[in-house]
């Protein structure tokens, strides 16, 4: 049976599972970008902000699919 994703309740305010996954995805992408900058690996990318955006999308999909299961 397919379950419909349910909302997260925080102090009487309901949050969408996609919002929670996107917040965690943005934090994970920020951490990854900082690590890439620290070890000077971001110089190998043509446009590093686009790489960070792509990482955020990949992390959001991964977290929304496998971590936040409804």
Determine the pLDDT at residue 69.
Answer: 74
Distances, alpha carbon 46 to alpha carbons 42, 50, 66, in Å: 9, 9, 30
pLDDT at 70 over 60: no
Determine the pLDDT at residue 6.
Answer: 78
- Tell me, rounded to whole angstroms, the distance of Cα 20 from its chain centroid: 9
Q: Alpha helix locations (H) across the chain?
A: 17-38, 48-62
Taking only the tens place, the pLDDT of each residue in 17-62 is 999 999 999 999 999 999 999 999 999 999 999 999 999 999 999 9
The model's pTM is 0.86
């Amino acid at each position: 049976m397919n379950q419909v994703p349910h909302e997260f309740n925080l102090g009487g305010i309901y949050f969408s599972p996609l919002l929670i996954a996107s917040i965690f995805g943005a934090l994970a992408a920020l951490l990854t970008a900082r690590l890439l900058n620290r070890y000077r690996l971001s110089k190998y990318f043509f446009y590093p902000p686009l790489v960070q955006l792509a990482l955020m999308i990949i992390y959001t999909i991964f977290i929304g699919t496998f971590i936040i299961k409804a």
